[in-house]
Homo-oligomer: A and B are copies of this chain.
Amino acid sequence: MALAFKRPGPGAIRRFFPILDWGSDYRKDTLVSDLVAAVIVTIMLIPQSLAYALLAGLPAEMGLYASILPLVAYAIFGTSRALAVGPVAVVSLMTAAAIGNLGLEQGTSDYALAAITLAFLSGAILLVMGVFRLGFLANFLSHPVIAGFITASGLLIATSQAKHILGVEAQGHALFDRVGSLVANIGDTNWITLVVGAASVAFLFWVRKGMKPLLIKVGLKPRLADILAKAGPVLAVAVTTLFSVLFDFQGRGVAIVGDVPQGLPPLTAPQFDLELWGQLFGSALLISIIGFVESISVAQTLAAKKKQRITPDQELVGLGASNIAAAVSGGYPVTGGFARSVVNFDAGAETPAAGAFTAVGIALAALLLTPLLYFLPTATLAATIIVAVLSLVDFSILKRTWSYSKADFAAVAATILLTLTFGVELGVSAGVVLSIVLFLYKTSRPHIAEIGLVPGTEHFRNIDRHTVLTHPELLSLRLDENLYFANARYIEDYILDRLANDQPLKHVVLNCAAVNAIDLSALESLEELNRRLNDMGIKLHLSEVKGPVMDRLQRTHFLGELHGQVFLSHYGAMRALGPVTGLAPIRSGPGGDDVAT
């Protein structure tokens, strides 16, 4: 019996195939909404797909391939009704960094195969995380670290595209290398490329700010104006391609996209090479987690607007399936994109079917439009990337964290600085590690407050901040942290130092309201404290010990050895150990008795 396999119930099947949920009551008006959204997203996604493939150092068609099957996979396995999956800027940048680390050269078939393998590994990692419900791992990326990372990545991406705008060569994964390399080669600038690139950047910025008001002014409805404004990049692509043909840009040294194979995605397989997997694993893990965080943030924001809920662990499965789909169809790592998901949502997408329809649109583009892309200047694509990512750059997180918490500030500053200096992988890893280290450091030197009774209540507060009542024979200390190995000795030493000169003392009561756990190291410190205080003629008591902590203490000898007692409330302890009515000194702290300080 114990070894018999449990057949998954219908609930389990529905958990892994959310399509069964929304697919069962799919109606005609939902279809129309989804189709409209799909058309708009398709128009937006075509230039983006090409551009992000370029950013990842891959041939343009791989961007299109990454926007077909992965969208279908997400439609089956994903839970968000508005998320638009595909190649995104940050993940494309991380892909280029990961494969660049292997020493492979952009444009080679080994490089492309490594990208496919990376998508496969990333998909596998996401699936494993989803099945084992490890989505909480993403929580270790703090909001400030993410914000700093996105800002720094935006800058890195923008500078990485500058070479395409200038028409020069430039190397390096870090900001300073890159800028240095650009400056060194600036003499080679191709002026036609620069004009095309700069004009496209200017046009696309204007499209973002000025086009929609203009269209409304000439009489279009706001919604239609909004949608047309999203087609700005397509317009830039069309116009610059036309110019390229008319004025023989290729003959004048302007880089163009060139041959893009016409047809549906090929069937591909990742490289099954354990050494390569080992080299790519760390990058794949980072890409998976960063991609997941980006995706889940936008999915949750959009779901909340319609009072829907998404399931984070199933989102991992959906994104995992998308990346596996990318790996078998000539794509590269994908995730849910911020800008396009918002467009999808605004355009009225109601179910993940909109994503599947978008896939059909991109497939048609791959079948029919690719010959037209031959003359497209890469500078135009670079311009669409630059305009898209510069909206991600936002240094205000530095100011927010500086005023709120220096630890958060340190983490975000380190993330930005290290990402710009040493690249994305080191930058985000350092941010995560630093925020964990700072948290551990803080918990290793906890705040310990001497507390007294707030007059007229049964409530105890810090004697340095409030006017409170205390008793000369009784010291009340509130331990403001979980007691565990990192602070066990600190707390023991602190209390012993604190008692050195307190002569008339008979009782020490440790208020444990803020102690959510006591590990074995801390228990040993408490035992030692109990013995040492007893040698000094002082009894150690505990108060307000929480249920889960008490359960654990009851399995040890500690409560038997404790010379004092354990009190339910601190007020009860004070009443039992000294006459509350006869509380002698009223000590007044600088804070007075303001509310809750």
Q: Is A579 an interface residue (CB 8 A)?
A: no
Contact with B along A485-496 (1 / 0, CB 8 A): 111111000000
User: Which A513-561 residues have a C-beta within 8 angstroms of B?
Assistant: 513-517, 519-521, 523-524, 532, 542-548, 550-552, 555-556
Q: Is A122 an interface residue (CB 8 A)?
A: no
Are A444 and B404 closer than 8 Å at their CB atoms?
A: no
- Pairs of residues from A and B, 10 with the lowest C-beta to C-beta distance, nearest first: A142-B485, A458-B458, A459-B569, A143-B521, A480-B516, A513-B513, A408-B520, A566-B596, A514-B514, A142-B521
* Chain B binder among A1-9, A216-224, A237-245, A434-442: A434-442
Q: Within the complex, which residue of B485, B547, B550, B596 is in contact with A545, where a contact is CB–CB below 8 Å?
A: B596
Q: Is A465 an interface residue (CB 8 A)?
A: yes
Query: What's the nearest-Cβ distance from chain B to residue A430, in Å?
Result: 15
Please name the residue on chain B nearest to A485 by beta carbon: B142
Q: Within the complex, which residue of B403, B516, B597 is in contact with A514, where a contact is CB–CB below 8 Å?
A: B516
Are A486 and B140 closer than 8 Å at their CB atoms?
A: yes
Are A139 and B444 closer than 8 Å at their CB atoms?
A: yes
Q: Is A595 an interface residue (CB 8 A)?
A: yes
Instruction: List 20 other contacts, CB 8 Å, given A403-B555, A439-B486.
Output: A139-B444, A139-B487, A140-B444, A141-B485, A142-B520, A143-B521, A144-B521, A304-B532, A404-B523, A404-B555, A405-B519, A408-B519, A449-B546, A458-B459, A459-B568, A480-B546, A513-B513, A514-B546, A550-B596, A568-B595
Contact with B along A261-281 (1 / 0, CB 8 A): 000000000000000000000
Q: Is A567 an interface residue (CB 8 A)?
A: yes
Are A140 and B550 closer than 8 Å at their CB atoms?
A: no
Are B142 and A547 closer than 8 Å at their CB atoms?
A: no
Are B552 and A568 closer than 8 Å at their CB atoms?
A: no
Q: Within the complex, which residue of B400, B566, B595 is in contact with A567, where a contact is CB–CB below 8 Å?
A: B595
A532 surroundings in chain B (CB, below 8 A): 304
User: Which A357-415 residues have a C-beta within 8 angstroms of B?
Assistant: 400-401, 403-405, 407-408
Are A143 and B403 closer than 8 Å at their CB atoms?
A: no
Contact with B along A411-455 (1 / 0, CB 8 A): 000000000000000000000000110011011111101000010
A516 surroundings in chain B (CB, below 8 A): 446-447, 480-481, 514
A568 surroundings in chain B (CB, below 8 A): 454, 459, 461, 595-596
Q: Within the complex, which residue of B145, B465, B519 is in contact with A407, where a contact is CB–CB below 8 Å?
A: B519
Are B457 and A569 closer than 8 Å at their CB atoms?
A: yes
Q: Is A95 an interface residue (CB 8 A)?
A: no
Instruction: Report if A547-B597 is in contact (Cβ < 8 Å); known contacts: A440-B436, A486-B140.
Output: yes
Instruction: Report if A597-B401 is in contact (Cβ < 8 Å); known contacts: A139-B487, A568-B459, A571-B459.
Output: no
Contact with B along A124-145 (1 / 0, CB 8 A): 0000000000001001111111
Copies per complex? Answer: 2
A403 surroundings in chain B (CB, below 8 A): 555-556
Are A556 and B404 closer than 8 Å at their CB atoms?
A: yes
Residues of A within 8 A of B (CB): 136, 139-145, 304, 400-401, 403-405, 407-408, 435-436, 439-440, 442-447, 449, 454, 457-459, 461-462, 465, 480-482, 484-490, 513-517, 519-521, 523-524, 532, 542-548, 550-552, 555-556, 566-569, 571-572, 591, 595-597
CA distance A568 to B466 in the complex (A): 11
18 pairs from A and B in contact (CB 8 Å cutoff):
A136-B490, A139-B444, A140-B444, A142-B519, A142-B520, A143-B485, A403-B556, A404-B523, A405-B520, A407-B519, A408-B520, A439-B519, A454-B568, A454-B569, A459-B568, A459-B569, A462-B546, A567-B595
CA distance A556 to B399 in the complex (A): 12
A519 surroundings in chain B (CB, below 8 A): 142, 405, 407-408, 439
A457 surroundings in chain B (CB, below 8 A): 458, 569, 571-572
Are A139 and B490 closer than 8 Å at their CB atoms?
A: yes
Query: What's the nearest-Cβ distance from chain B to residue A44, in Å?
Result: 28
Query: What's the nearest-Cβ distance from chain B to residue A36, in Å?
Result: 28
Interface centre among A458, A566, A572, A596 (most CB of B within 10 A): A596
Are A520 and B485 closer than 8 Å at their CB atoms?
A: no
Are A552 and B405 closer than 8 Å at their CB atoms?
A: yes
A542 surroundings in chain B (CB, below 8 A): 596
Query: What's the nearest-Cβ distance from chain B to residue A320, in Å?
Result: 20
Instruction: Report if A547-B462 is in contact (Cβ < 8 Å); known contacts: A139-B485, A519-B142, A568-B596.
Output: yes
CA distance A445 to B444 in the complex (A): 20
A515 surroundings in chain B (CB, below 8 A): 514
A556 surroundings in chain B (CB, below 8 A): 403-404
Query: What's the nearest-Cβ distance from chain B to residue A20, in Å?
Result: 22
Interface centre among A405, A436, A566 (most CB of B within 10 A): A405
CA distance A436 to B140 in the complex (A): 13
Please name the residue on chain B nearest to A136 by beta carbon: B444
A458 surroundings in chain B (CB, below 8 A): 457-459, 571
Are A140 and B513 closer than 8 Å at their CB atoms?
A: no
CA distance A543 to B459 in the complex (A): 12
A445 surroundings in chain B (CB, below 8 A): 136
CA distance A128 to B431 in the complex (A): 25
Are A139 and B489 closer than 8 Å at their CB atoms?
A: yes
A571 surroundings in chain B (CB, below 8 A): 457-459
